[in-house]
Amino acid sequence: MKTITVVSKDKVGLLADISYILGKRNININGVSVDVVGGDAIISLTLKDAQKASSSLRESGYNVSESDTLFVRVGNVIGGINSLTSKLSQNRVNIENVHLVSSDSDHGVFAMNVDKPRKALRILGEAVINAVGN
């Protein structure tokens, strides 16, 4: 999967407009995260066809960036996420974005964007359950 990030002035209907543009092009959104900071909306979309999505949104006047996404499975124990993030930090891999995708009593699955995806893939090894674009 790839993640694209759209940064735009926050306004009512912004996500509706973006999802309409993508739906019109038959692009499915697999994950979404929205934050508003200082009047700007930061919308992260995880999808299979990031290039088509980016192109479609740019044609509509949106500012878009793309990045690779790692999906990482972490044991649902105290310190589980710390173990993962510490390994990356010790190896000078910066986490740019992370969010919980799903969890159950045994594991959590996190979608993660880092500045050095190939290095992160080597460091995290079997914890990575899906990495596209690397």
Q: Are 78 and 96 part of one and the same domain? A: yes
Residue 71 burial (CB count, 10 A): 19
Residues 110 and 126 in one domain: yes
pTM of the model: 0.62
- CATH number of the domain residue 122 falls in: 3.30.2130.10
Give the end of a domain, one of 45, 67, 89: 67
Count of domains in the chain?
Answer: 2
Say yes or no: 101 and 78 in one domain: yes
Q: How many CA atoms lie within 13 A of 64 on its CB side?
A: 20
Final residue belonging to a domain, choices 44, 67, 90: 67
- Token output for 95: 């986490």
- Residue ranges making up the domain that contains 38: 2-67
Residues 63 and 79 placed together within one structural domain of the fold: no
- Residue 44's nearest CA partner among 133, 117, 112, 131 is 112
Over the Cα atoms of the chain, what is R_g? 16
User: How would you class 97 by CB atoms within 10 Å of its CB: exposed for 0-12, middle for 13-18, buried for 19 or more?
Assistant: middle
Query: Are residues 121 and 73 part of one domain?
Result: yes
* 73 in the same domain as 57: no
Cα 40–3–62 angle (5° rounding)?
A: 40
pLDDT of residue 134: 41
pLDDT in tens, the chain (134 residues): 788 889 899 999 999 999 999 999 999 999 898 888 788 888 989 898 999 999 999 999 998 987 777 878 898 899 989 999 999 999 999 998 887 877 788 888 888 889 999 999 999 988 887 554 44
